[in-house]
Structure 1
Amino acid sequence: MFVKQTLLAATVALAVPAALHAQTQTLDNISRVYRTAIEPVYAGNEVKGYVTYTKGDKADKKNDNFLLDFYDQDLNKVSNITLQKPAGKYFLLRNAFNGSAFAMYYYNSKEKTLELETYDTSLKKLGFKAIGDLNRGDMMATQQSFMTQGNDGEGGGGLMGGMTLFPVPNFGFVRNSYEGMMKGYNLQMYDDKLTPRWRLSSDPKSKFYETVSLTQAVDKYILATVLRRDGMMSKKINAFMVAIESATGKKVFDVPVETTNTEQLSLSSFTFDPVKREFVAVGEFYKLNDKPFVNKSQGFFIKRFSEAGKPVAVKNYGWHNEVAALMPAEARPSQEDGFVNYTQSIVRGSNGKTYIVAEQYKVVGDGLGIALTALGGGASVSKGKIANMLVFALDPDYKLTDIKFYPKDPSVAYVPPGAGLMGTGLLGMYFRQSGQFDYQFTQKNDANSQFNVVYINYDKEKGEATKKVIGNVAFGDNGQFKVDKIDGTSNATASFLYPAKPGYVMLVDYLKKEKKMGMKLVKLNI
């Protein structure tokens, strides 16, 4: 008799024997792995397991084997199934988990369709849906998703977004699509069995070109950033903050980041504070005649809005006054060298303090790219440089009280041809979407009293091979900031880092020649 196990039941059942096993797993006969093929499974804020989707050996001349495996938080295998797909015709765009169901999102190149499949936590199939009649905009976005995934990104596409599947706890999954030549967007919510729940689309009468990026599901809302332009090639881009009711698809908040004529702002992050019942925006401010994303900003801001969309408060933090007063001396050279800060995450502690995690980057001219362009080549004339980590600490009244600076060796980020003209702010969004920042993730415990910011530093010592160092910044209610560094250097074809159970991270190494994928839990020394 088959007994269905829920995720938590499976985790509890394996909790005792798990302590007796090494916290590693090795998968053989794996022919391909992308970062997006491994999805952490959460209960609350904490990781309770993983689902992996990998390509195995061929089933026969006409079919490929794909392996769907579910592991608990200690990397014990809970369940697994093998799926067969026509050889060379299926490409995974996204693998998502919403707390109750797993979803696989494919492109079927044979039928030229998008396909969705969902499974429960015992890996029993729940639903299937094929989407055909893709327009040119959808096909362009699908190609962007392929390109990003090949760069080990998040599968989210390029500068204007790709084809994504967004998990919403307790409700289902949201799929995006485009109108015509990406002039507008459509959002379709499905439940766990892929039955449509609601649909939200751009206003067909709008004069703007609009793209949407879903960023967070929190409380009863799905949060998004919408970019609006007067035309497809327009360089004037206006950022809007949008909140959608998860249950109904009703848009309840659609506010521009610039709410007065005396503001010149960019938007880095938009979130919701369920304790204060406020929407919170973070970005950078500029001189009125300067161009956001192009000229150097004057500092960063925090804007707060009520659930009804009314402004509650706005506070600016100037680089040369509030920030400079607390900026560590070792951080000042990078600020003076033209690096800007990209907000990677915002967390609020149980003590009411707010922490903003940022990473420095800038865009510079690429000598080789300039030379090739002069010779008629299509290379980019710009490249990105990714640098140091910072944590800004604010008290419950949003007063800046501390800045922590964590230096790391610069790494290079790819800038697509022509994108250098978009300015550094939008390129920061592109680097995030394409997985080129060194920041990996922020872990937090269920009490919101302890946080871990995990990043990678490619340590380049003169005369030595580059080392891959896993950095971890731990902070929280105890008021202490501690740093841990772990050597993650390997000879793997590809390596990926994921959140794990409290006190750990999970490191995945893929060896293409040996066709092996290894997963291991690495203990943080803090």
Structure 2
Amino acid sequence: MFQFKRTLLTAVVALAVAATASAQTQTLDGVKSIGRSGISPIYAGNEVKGYLMYSEADKADRKNDNYHLDFYDQDLNKVSTVVIQKPAGKYYLLDNAFNGTTFGLYFYNHKDKTMEIETYDTSLKKVASKVVGEVNRQQLMAIGMQMRSAGGEGKMPFGGLDLRPIADKGFARVNVDGEKYEVEMYDNNLQLKWRQKTDPKSKFLESIIISETTDKYMIGTVLRKGSMMSKKVDPYMVAFDLNTGKKILDQPVESSKTEQLSLSSFTYDAAKHEFVAVGEYYKPDDKPFVNKSQGFYIKRFGEDGKLVGIKPYNWQKEVKGLMPAEAQQAMEDGFMNFTHSISKGADGRMYVVSEQYRIAGKGLDVAMTLMGGGGGSKGVIGNMLVFVLDPTYKLADIKCYTKDVSKVMLPPGAGFAGAGLLGQYIKAMGGFDYQFMQRSDANSLFNVVYINYDKEKGEATKKVVGNIAFGENGKFVVDKIDGTSAATNSFVYPAKPGYVMMVDYLKKQKQLGMKLVKLNI
């Protein structure tokens, strides 16, 4: 979440004064293509104050393509726009980001096989452009998957195709090739500030997933294995100092050989200056997906990497008495929990938002999938869960929100790295129904938005946008919005307090519709 600078706020205020009514909706014609990453919410604190949209329009002429870069305020009034011309058929947008002062656009140049970044200030004046490297084989595979997917959003995990905003300072990108990784940080003028990479002396093959940036750290998970043919992948928690790039943490979540822990979420608690890991724990000889986990855990580490505390929550002891019946049945059916977000309220309570998932099949079928047998399998996505912990980390409540199951294809052997990494794979592929969490600036109200594809017998499938509001007075409120449409692609985004933004794109008509929908909270 990043703060606006005065130039952008001035433009928004001036427009709001001049407008006689809030737009609330927009219909754009001539939009040739756009994916989810083409629209980025812009934040002031925790609240959405506008959107940046990058879209491909009709051709300028035979040799050039037109692209629009538009900025909208929180009410969908257009603040400014520029038309960018690029050589025809040459560029593909991988990601865009806003860091509080500067917009960044991350491109794949498929004629020159290079990766390029462009930056723009808040008036949409171009600041800099730079070729940041040649595309490698693994990235080429990831780009191909993204371009072929509906809405251009299917991504190989560990593909390194995202551009990370660093508040007011610049942008970071990851470069991976299946054997090693590089993390690079650029300032707004695209001057390289630091680079961290796999140690040339390392005997392991390494990839990295960046999960979060704070005002101090960039944190993520490094995946290590002994050889290209090895089935065993070990996850390590990592953190880099944002100012220097120095690696200040690099260690496994397991502290002893008697622990077998999955790692589904790794975050930083700024109030306590601690790194927090969440996942499920198993008996030492258990096999994830074949044997059920014993429960979930929260493990905390200091900034020096030393263990501060670990709290296990056993399914039979601490959890069962609070677990709703629907969630208990799903657990009996082999579902695990993937943690999407961990948030601390103003009252000190911690909310762990999870989604249930498993590999389709049981017993021998799952074991064969883990060993790479068969032709791949399906991940099955289940219910939404919210675990509520009091300030002492005691489990106080569990909420379950049932959904119709959805499925995502998995490649052979996808689960061999462990339950937590399979969840990260599904997340990278866009396979979970969870969309995002919104929070108030005071951290007193949280909204979790998810999609449910409602399948009633004899009726067409409905797309339902669910919103779970909680945090104020201990109450939980659920609102459901019918998002069914005939659109080629449909997306939902965070919006100003009390709203979500829904987007429908009609490819044949080259038309994009945006609307703000009020939540019943």
1:348 pairs with one of 344, 347, 354: 344
- What residue is the counterpart of 2:264 in the other structure? 268
- What residue is the counterpart of 1:491 in the other structure? 486
- What residue is the counterpart of 2:437 in the other structure? 442
- What residue is the counterpart of 1:506 in the other structure? 501
Where does 1:162-241 land on structure 2 (aligned, <5 Å)?
162-178=160-176, 181-241=177-237
Is contact 1:284-1:298 (8 Å) kept? yes
Note the C-alpha offset of 1:170: 2.2
The 1:152–1:429 alpha-carbon spacing in structure 2 relative to 1, beyond 3 Å, is: farther
> Take 2:78 and 2:412, find their aligned partners in 1: how far apart are those partners?
44
- What residue is the counterpart of 2:57 in the other structure? 56
> Take 1:416 and 1:17, find their aligned partners in 2: how far apart are those partners?
54
1:188-247 residue CA offsets vs partner (Å, 9 max, x unmatched): 110011111111111110111111111111131111111111112322221111111111
Q: What letter is aligned with 1:438? A: D
Is contact 2:23-2:77 (8 Å) kept? no
> Take 1:512 and 1:311, find their aligned partners in 2: how far apart are those partners?
52
- What residue is the counterpart of 1:320 in the other structure? 316
Note the C-alpha offset of 1:365: 4.5
- What residue is the counterpart of 1:456 in the other structure? 451
1:37-59 residue CA offsets vs partner (Å, 9 max, x unmatched): 11110111111100011110011
> Take 1:346 and 1:19, find their aligned partners in 2: how far apart are those partners?
40
Q: What letter is aligned with 2:76? A: L
Instruction: Name segments (4+ residues, structure 1) moved above 6 Å.
Output: none
- What residue is the counterpart of 1:476 in the other structure? 471
Q: Give yes or no for the alignment of 1:395 onto 2:390.
A: yes
- What residue is the counterpart of 1:467 in the other structure? 462
Is contact 1:31-1:56 (8 Å) kept? yes
Q: Secondary structure at the match of 2:329?
A: helix
1:346-401 residue CA offsets vs partner (Å, 9 max, x unmatched): 111011110000011111149xx99xx9xxxx984411111110000000111100
2:421 pairs with one of 404, 415, 426: 426
Is contact 2:35-2:153 (8 Å) kept? no
Is contact 2:27-2:513 (8 Å) kept? yes
> Take 2:20 and 2:335, find their aligned partners in 1: how far apart are those partners?
46
Note the C-alpha offset of 1:328: 1.1
Where does 1:354-393 land on structure 2 (aligned, <5 Å)?
354-365=350-361, 380-393=375-388
- What residue is the counterpart of 1:249 in the other structure? 245
The 1:101–1:486 alpha-carbon spacing in structure 2 relative to 1, beyond 3 Å, is: same
Which range moved further: 497-506 or 427-436?
427-436
The 1:142–1:316 alpha-carbon spacing in structure 2 relative to 1, beyond 3 Å, is: same
2:145 pairs with one of 138, 144, 147: 147
> Take 1:118 and 1:104, find their aligned partners in 2: how far apart are those partners?
6
> Take 1:331 and 1:128, find their aligned partners in 2: how far apart are those partners?
50
Is contact 1:146-1:155 (8 Å) kept? no
Is contact 1:155-1:164 (8 Å) kept? no
- What residue is the counterpart of 1:279 in the other structure? 275
> Take 1:354 and 1:264, find their aligned partners in 2: how far apart are those partners?
24
Note the C-alpha offset of 1:143: 2.5
Q: What letter is aligned with 1:520? A: K
Note the C-alpha offset of 1:470: 0.6
Q: What letter is aligned with 1:227? A: L
Is contact 2:151-2:489 (8 Å) kept? no
Note the C-alpha offset of 1:431: 1.2
Note the C-alpha offset of 1:79: 0.7
The 1:420–1:317 alpha-carbon spacing in structure 2 relative to 1, beyond 3 Å, is: closer
- What residue is the counterpart of 1:97 in the other structure? 98
Is contact 2:35-2:152 (8 Å) kept? no
Q: Give yes or no for the alignment of 1:45 onto 2:39.
A: no
Where does 1:301-312 land on structure 2 (aligned, <5 Å)?
301-312=297-308
> Take 1:511 and 1:133, find their aligned partners in 2: how far apart are those partners?
34
Is contact 1:349-1:449 (8 Å) kept? yes
Note the C-alpha offset of 1:340: 0.9
The 1:337–1:269 alpha-carbon spacing in structure 2 relative to 1, beyond 3 Å, is: same
| TM-score (norm. length: structure 2) | 0.93
Note the C-alpha offset of 1:13: 2.3
Note the C-alpha offset of 1:132: 4.3
Q: Give yes or no for the alignment of 1:126 onto 2:122.
A: no
Note the C-alpha offset of 1:168: 1.1
The 1:47–1:117 alpha-carbon spacing in structure 2 relative to 1, beyond 3 Å, is: same
Q: What letter is aligned with 1:142? A: L
> Take 1:28 and 1:229, find their aligned partners in 2: how far apart are those partners?
49
The 1:164–1:341 alpha-carbon spacing in structure 2 relative to 1, beyond 3 Å, is: same
The 1:222–1:317 alpha-carbon spacing in structure 2 relative to 1, beyond 3 Å, is: same
The 1:237–1:132 alpha-carbon spacing in structure 2 relative to 1, beyond 3 Å, is: closer
1:430-454 residue CA offsets vs partner (Å, 9 max, x unmatched): 1101111110000001111100000
> Take 2:106 and 2:119, find their aligned partners in 1: how far apart are those partners?
9
Which consecutive residues of structure 2, in runs of 5 or more, have no partner in the other structure? none
> Take 1:145 and 1:230, find their aligned partners in 2: how far apart are those partners?
26
Q: Secondary structure at the match of 1:143?
A: helix
- What residue is the counterpart of 1:516 in the other structure? 511
Q: Give yes or no for the alignment of 1:411 onto 2:406.
A: yes
> Take 2:206 and 2:417, find their aligned partners in 1: how far apart are those partners?
16
- What residue is the counterpart of 2:66 in the other structure? 65
Identity in percent? 60
- Superposition RMSD in Å: 2.2
Q: What letter is aligned with 1:9? A: T
- What residue is the counterpart of 1:22 in the other structure? 23
1:278-318 residue CA offsets vs partner (Å, 9 max, x unmatched): 11111111111123566432111101111221111101011
Is contact 1:363-1:424 (8 Å) kept? no
1:383-434 residue CA offsets vs partner (Å, 9 max, x unmatched): 1111110000000111100000000111111223453555544322111011
> Take 1:154 and 1:227, find their aligned partners in 2: how far apart are those partners?
26
Q: Secondary structure at the match of 1:325?
A: coil
> Take 2:418 and 2:261, find their aligned partners in 1: how far apart are those partners?
14
1:66-122 residue CA offsets vs partner (Å, 9 max, x unmatched): 111111111111111111112222111111111211111111111111111001111
Which consecutive residues of structure 1, in runs of 5 or more, have no partner in the other structure? none
Q: What letter is aligned with 1:502? A: P
Q: Secondary structure at the match of 1:212?
A: strand
Q: Secondary structure at the match of 1:6?
A: helix
The 1:506–1:150 alpha-carbon spacing in structure 2 relative to 1, beyond 3 Å, is: farther
> Take 2:419 and 2:360, find their aligned partners in 1: how far apart are those partners?
10
Note the C-alpha offset of 1:133: 4.3
> Take 1:408 and 1:163, find their aligned partners in 2: how far apart are those partners?
31
Give the aligned length.
Answer: 510
> Take 1:445 and 1:501, find their aligned partners in 2: how far apart are those partners?
10
Note the C-alpha offset of 1:477: 3.5
Is contact 1:94-1:155 (8 Å) kept? no
